[in-house]
């Protein structure tokens, strides 16, 4: 109930926006190729829901798989780096260099390496999630001050004891922030990769419909993508609250 009330103003704003949009389109007689109204877009979604639905499943699958692969590798690497500082020193140059390159620049490379199937999308999504989660988790694992570490040591905790009882809980908020930033990034990375080369998926529909000057379908695909990302984001926020209940 509280949750419902908290999203009420946002829902109101969305409804007002849609109504204004529709009214403006009808009033000024804006042609569809510049900006179709919400009803026209809904109509187009109704016509091609089968194609949109099956593409959406592929896109969401790729985005989620990429997200999981990227996040798991990132958390594993961050823990490894904290346990063995030598690894951190050796791999930092790669992380720093990769981090300054925009992930979209790697899309052609992913397509050349992994082909047009789902693996190139999973790869690029994993990469774009990986760096942000890795840097966040690493920062989080290092938050406990040395006094707290010393205290646990004096009670006989080993490296893993310190990690499990102190560092991991301390890293949770930063880790969750990383995940939250990472999820939309993985969706965007997947759609961008699909636009440049794929057999199916929302990005590919957008690309093809643009080429066929079918802007209603472009808008319908964008709408579907927005709703899907919002749902994913909502689920993630709900999981966050369970994971970091103390903040």
Partner 1 sequence: MTRLLRSPAGACAMLALAWFVLVPLLRVPPLILPSLPAILRDAFSVWPALLAGFLITMLETVLGFLLGAGLGFGAGAAFAYAGWLERAMLPLFVASQTVPVIAFGAIVVIWFGNTLFAKIMIAFYLTFLPVTVATIRGLQSCDPERLDLMRGFGSSAWQRFVKLALPSAAPVIMVGLKIGIALSLIGAIVGEWFGATVGLGVMLLQSLYFEQTARVWVLIIACGGMGATLTGAISLTGRRFIWWRPG
What does the binding site for partner 1 look like in residue numbers (CB under 8 A)?
Answer: 7, 9-10, 12-14, 17, 33-34, 88-89, 92-94, 96-98, 100-109, 111-113, 184, 187-188, 191-192, 195-197, 202-203, 206, 210, 215, 218-219, 221-222, 225-226, 229-230, 233
Q: In angstroms, what is the minimal distance from the CB of 145 to partner 1?
A: 18
Q: In angstroms, what is the minimal distance from the CB of 240 to partner 1?
A: 14
Q: How many CB atoms lie within 10 A of CB 117?
A: 14
Alpha carbon of residue 152 to chain centroid: 36
Select from 168, 179, 194 the least CA-distant residue to 240: 179
CA–CA dist 62, 79 (Å, integer)? 26
CA–CA dist 134, 129 (Å, integer)? 8
- 137 or 187, CB closer to partner 1? 187
Q: In angstroms, what is the minimal distance from the CB of 219 to partner 1?
A: 8
CA–CA dist 228, 138 (Å, integer)? 30
- For 44-67, letters b (16+ CB in 10 Å) and e give bbeebeeebeebbebbbebbbbbb
- 4 or 105, CB closer to partner 1? 105
- 4 or 156, CB closer to partner 1? 4
Q: In angstroms, what is the minimal distance from the CB of 232 to partner 1?
A: 8
Instruction: Decide: 136 and 174 in contact? Cβ < 8 Å.
Output: yes
CA–CA dist 10, 7 (Å, integer)? 5
- 176 or 202, CB closer to partner 1? 202
- 1 or 94, CB closer to partner 1? 94
Q: In angstroms, what is the minimal distance from the CB of 130 to partner 1?
A: 15
């Amino acid at each position: 109930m509280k949750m419902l009330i908290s999203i009420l103003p946002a829902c109101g704003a969305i409804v007002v926006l849609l109504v204004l949009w529709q009214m403006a389109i009808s009033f000024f007689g804006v042609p569809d190729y510049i900006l179709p109204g919400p009803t026209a877009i809904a109509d187009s979604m109704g016509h091609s829901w089968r194609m949109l639905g099956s593409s959406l499943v592929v896109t969401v699958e790729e985005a989620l798989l990429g997200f999981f692969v990227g996040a798991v590798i990132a958390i594993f690497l961050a823990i490894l780096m904290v346990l063995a500082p030598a690894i951190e020193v050796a791999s930092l140059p790669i992380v720093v260099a990769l981090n300054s390159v925009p992930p979209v620049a790697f899309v052609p490379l992913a397509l050349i390496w992994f082909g047009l199937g789902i693996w190139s999308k999973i790869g690029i999504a994993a990469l774009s999630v990986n760096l942000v989660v890795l840097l966040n988790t690493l920062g989080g694992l290092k938050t406990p001050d040395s006094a707290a570490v010393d205290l646990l040591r004096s009670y006989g905790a080993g490296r893993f004891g310190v990690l499990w009882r102190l560092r991991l809980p301390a890293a949770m908020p930063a880790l969750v922030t990383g995940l939250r930033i990472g999820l939309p990034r993985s969706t965007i990375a997947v759609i961008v990769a699909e636009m440049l080369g794929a057999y199916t998926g929302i990005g590919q529909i957008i690309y093809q419909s643009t080429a066929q000057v079918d802007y209603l379908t472009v808008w319908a695909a964008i709408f579907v993508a927005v709703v899907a990302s919002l749902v994913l984001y909502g689920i993630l926020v709900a999981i966050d609250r369970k994971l970091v209940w103390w903040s």
